[in-house]
Amino acid sequence: MGFADQRFTVNLSILFTELPLLERPAAAAAAGFTAVELWWPWVDRPAPERADLDALHKAVEDAGVRLTGLNFYAGRLPGPDRGALSVPGEESERFRANIDVAADFAQALGCTALNALYGNRVDGVDPAEQDALALENLVLAARAADRIGAVLLIEALNKPESPLYPLVSAQAAVGIVDKVNQATGLANARFLMDLYHLSMNGEDLPSVIERYAAHTGHVQIADNPGRGAPGTGTLPLEDLLDRLGKAGYEGWVGLEYKPGDRPSPEAFDWLPVEARAAR
């Protein structure tokens, strides 16, 4: 096994950002990829104008790529917000306003994975209150995902870059997955295993894979240090993906890394062109 045996999808919110949003799907296709994923593209609009949604839908379809994953509204990413669903007041309301909009957009493009970032802790708010709000909103998101035949992904981030984000371990994220599944009875909440974030938290990645591969609905990668392409840091990403495959994971692997100071098409030289198209 190896990189050539994986099903890769390119995150267009961190790669190809030198281009306007509507040009990125075609750029990914020109680089040889057939699958893409996105953070919620409208950072200040949980419910964009229909014309904006239609334009992005057309750009993805015209490029001939598949949308494999989409974030619910989560504020400004990358940035300090780090999610909205557990933040009382306007941000939580924005998340709720986005749930059906994001789910309907995902369904129209055949996307079957929706990622919900948990949200930062807020000064002066009881963490238990935030956790109760988060569970309430995640239940709504899980039901919307189920309506379109999708999974709901719950992700751990890393404490150095997101010090106010409470889910900074695989165990913490999987614990929320279990709570959501118990509350809904749908069993469609899954762990998003981001190997970069987990490595930044100092986790034993082979152990994480062994323990949680069966709970995992999506994987994302970037090398560490630097959050660059595989080979720019020290993570044994090819070996880790091999371990995931042997543990039974057969899903998508999202390329969620920074291209550095070079154009995005040059940031894929580690992966042969013939291995980029999903099989």
**C-alpha neighbours within 13 Å on the C-beta side of residue 174:** 16
Is 274 considered catalytic here? no
Residue 174 burial (C-beta neighbours within 10 Å; 0-12, 13-18, 19+): buried
Give just the sign of the alpha carbon dihedral 264, 266, 267, 268. positive
Among residues 155, 161, 203, 266, the one annotated as catalytic is 155
Contact, 93 vs 63, CB < 8 A? no
Residue 225 CB coordination number (10 Å): 12
256 is catalytic: yes
Residue in the block written with tokens 């999202």: 254
Is residue 193 within 8 A of residue 115, CB to CB? The reply is no
Alpha carbon distance 233, 230 (integer Å): 7
User: Which positions are annotated as active-site residues?
Assistant: 155, 256
